[in-house]
Chain A
Amino acid sequence: MRIIIESPQAGDEDVVIVRCASPDQRLISMLLSYQTANTELTGYMDDKIVRLNYQDVYYFESNENRVFAYYRSDVYEVKYKLYELEELFAPMDFVRCSKSMIVNMEKIDYLSPLFSGKLEAHLKNGEKVVISRQYVHSLKVKLGIEEVE
């Protein structure tokens, strides 16, 4: 594979074009990750406005039409819809775990089953989040246990 880097015309935005016979999934994931890593995620807490590092987010939760990013101990409101965050962070280690929550898999210490048929994710900060049965498949796909349907 040849790598060609060209300077764009003055005033044009930077563009990455992948020209290949069949798209390499790893390359696409890498490019999407790069794009996500550059996404500005701003958190609001009282009067503070903070630039958030998505890698430090334990989970996103929507509550009464507001979405919050949970850090180890702090909670920031973010001005995104949950489905937007799901799309944005899909190439990263974030996975939908219920209707109202997206969890960072990197922050999961371990999983345990519940008697109700759901799974419980024990996070590294000691919190527990419930993974609904209908989202277990997407977690398994992310972990490479099951195939994408």
Chain B
Amino acid sequence: MMVKEFFVSLLHYFVDITTAVLIAAAIFLTATGQQMNSVILWEILLSGFITALPSAVLLCFDTKSVRLSLILWGIHFLVIFGATLLMLKAFGWCSITPLSVLLTFLAVVCIYLFTCSVHYLVDKKHASVMNQQLKKRYSNAEQDK
């Protein structure tokens, strides 16, 4: 159950992050007028997978304390930010300068918010279906009484 949950989360995060990175890349390439090499598509897929991995791992922690949850989310963000910087350098997308680090930080924040928002909206839809079922189930139970 836990293993399945991990792989389902990994797949969801991979799709969401890759979509967000593609949008960011499209905006960047359009704005700068640069031509895209086909290899960048594989690099985007790989970066999506690498950054989805810590997100799926994070969901395996069932923490009770709010403080610990916030610490874990903070570590998670730093891991993703660090991994993104390393990939930028490894893929040669840009050189590491204070400006590129700042822009990467902003991009990671945007992708982070995009992914969280997508998950939140999906969860909201699921919660609404569950609320309907709860209502149906317990209005029936009250009628039976």
Contacts A113-B124, A117-B119, A119-B123; A144 near B138 (Cβ below 8 A): no
Do the beta carbons of A108 and B134 come within 8 Å of each other? Answer: yes
- Complex interface: stretch among A21-29, A40-48, A131-139: A131-139
Chain A residues near B116: list those with CB within 8 A: 115
CB-defined interface of A116-142 with B at 8 Å, one 1/0 digit per residue?
A: 110100000000000011101101100
Any A CB within 8 A of the CB of B130: yes
Q: Which of A114, A132, A143, A145 contacts B62 (CB 8 A)?
A: A132
Contacts A111-B131, A139-B130, A143-B130; A117 near B59 (Cβ below 8 A): yes
CA distance A116 to B123 in the complex (A): 10
CA distance A99 to B64 in the complex (A): 9
Do the beta carbons of A113 and B130 come within 8 Å of each other? Answer: no
Any B CB within 8 A of the CB of A105: yes
CB closest residue in chain A, given B2: A134
CA distance A136 to B141 in the complex (A): 22
Within 8 A of B (CB), among A26-43: none
Any A CB within 8 A of the CB of B67: no
- Chain A nearest CB, measured from B99 CB (Å): 30
CB closest residue in chain B, given A111: B127
Contacts A98-B62, A98-B64, A133-B59; A143 near B134 (Cβ below 8 A): yes
Q: Which of B9, B73, B126 contacts A116 (CB 8 A)?
A: B73
CB closest residue in chain A, given B134: A108
CB closest residue in chain B, given A98: B62
Do the beta carbons of A144 and B62 come within 8 Å of each other? Answer: no
Within 8 A of B (CB), among A59-115: 98-100, 105-106, 108, 110-115
Any A CB within 8 A of the CB of B129: yes
Interface CB pairs A-B, < 8 A, 15: A98-B62, A113-B124, A117-B119, A117-B123, A133-B9, A133-B59, A134-B5, A137-B1, A137-B5, A139-B130, A140-B126, A140-B130, A143-B130, A145-B133, A149-B4
